[in-house]
Structure 1
Amino acid sequence: MNLADPMTDTEPEDTSPRAARLPSAERHAQILDAAMEEFAGRGFAGARMAAVATRAGVTKGLLYHYFPGGKTDLFEAVVTACVEPVLTEARQVAGSFKGSARALLQALIELGYARLEAAPPREQVLMKLLLTEADRFPELARFYRDRVLQPALRLTDSVLEAGVESGEFRVEAVRQPGLAHVLLAPILMGSIWRMMLEARDAPDLPAMREAHLHLALRALEC
């Protein structure tokens, strides 16, 4: 399915004078901010490239120059901008960590909860869009799998294997199929519950984190 808006989109293109020329990186960030607002306000199906261009103060032609695949490319870029910083930070933590595998696994789980607590409402909206629109637009589900889930699973698996090699984790526990998914699942569910529930009914994330760490580390340790 081609999710890109056609170039003949019926919405009128903004022809007002453009803002001063910006460096490419700044313009790109400006477009992503505008796209975030458009997706948050209208959902994936309702979002329009012409509306994003108007919000960003650029022509629709320039928008397609940056994102030739149209709306799908743009949505993927917005999600990447949200998740890539935490994935990059997690890789950096793992790459420079000097302690035990146990301590590293704890640090990465704590990082996941910290990011969850700090996530602005717009990022929560994007996650909600991924959850609700993935069945209608399988491209979005594949993107999430390839760019978000799989890198997180690979990093988790590498830490678990390091724990086996160092004698900290039991091999029969680490080699249990689906273990990395199980270790990541509480953080994802915390995100979903925060989207579904009022603030007073949402889970206590610090308490969830402590319970998560206690159960995971007790189950893994020799």
Structure 2
Amino acid sequence: MEKETKIAIIEDDENLRFLVSHRLQNEGYIVVETGNGDDAESLILGEQPDIVLLDWMLPGKQGSDVCRNVREKGFEKIIIMMTAKAQDVDKIDAYHFGVSDYVTKPFNMDVLVAMIENKVKYIVKQDRSEISRFGDIEHHPNTHSLLKAGQRIELTILENRILLYFLKNINKVINREDLMMVVWGYNSDVNTRTLDMHIVRLRKKIEDNPDTPRYLQTVRGVGYKFVI
């Protein structure tokens, strides 16, 4: 079945690029690819793929520079950064490159495909509804940013994942374990304190008064509820 979804693979390891490309083509995706950062920008801007798989370490331009540059030139589709496991994911968060999400290497091909399927299902296929609005806030998930009363506010990748999950489950009570599973994944050793810390930061960005939240409410002993 032809999905008509185009994916750009930007990866300098030829073996890995071949494996990912081969698998995605078998899954029915249209694939374009390059192995260096210098060609990456023209490829992304010229081909306008729905999803970009972008390696962090590239010859020529770094993945972070490629990401920032195409965002500045108006590219708003999904960019998934591929990083070596040793690299601290929060390092990607710390700079506002405009990464939509990330996957750590070495990754399981099935996990990568499932992640892409998820993006296609929720975002690519629902382009008109990808921007969520609540109160005076607009959430733009692909560029992990908010527009609050006309002001642009950056979200980290993890804050973006948390908010996206709440917006898909409005007015439902979400327990902490489920939320941690969605945000950090299966083999994560993250604790609830880390989650609560991210919630506090997210509240500061979306709430007029973070101490008495209107949207992101605590449900004692269970977890949270996003109330609209």
Q: Which has the larger radius of gyration?
A: 1
When normalised by structure 2's length, the TM-score is: 0.26
| Structure showing the higher strand proportion among its residues | 2
TM-score of the aligned structures, taking structure 1 as reference length: 0.27
The structure whose residues are more often helix, as a share, is 1
Which is bigger in relative contact order (C-alpha 8 A, separation at least 6)? 1
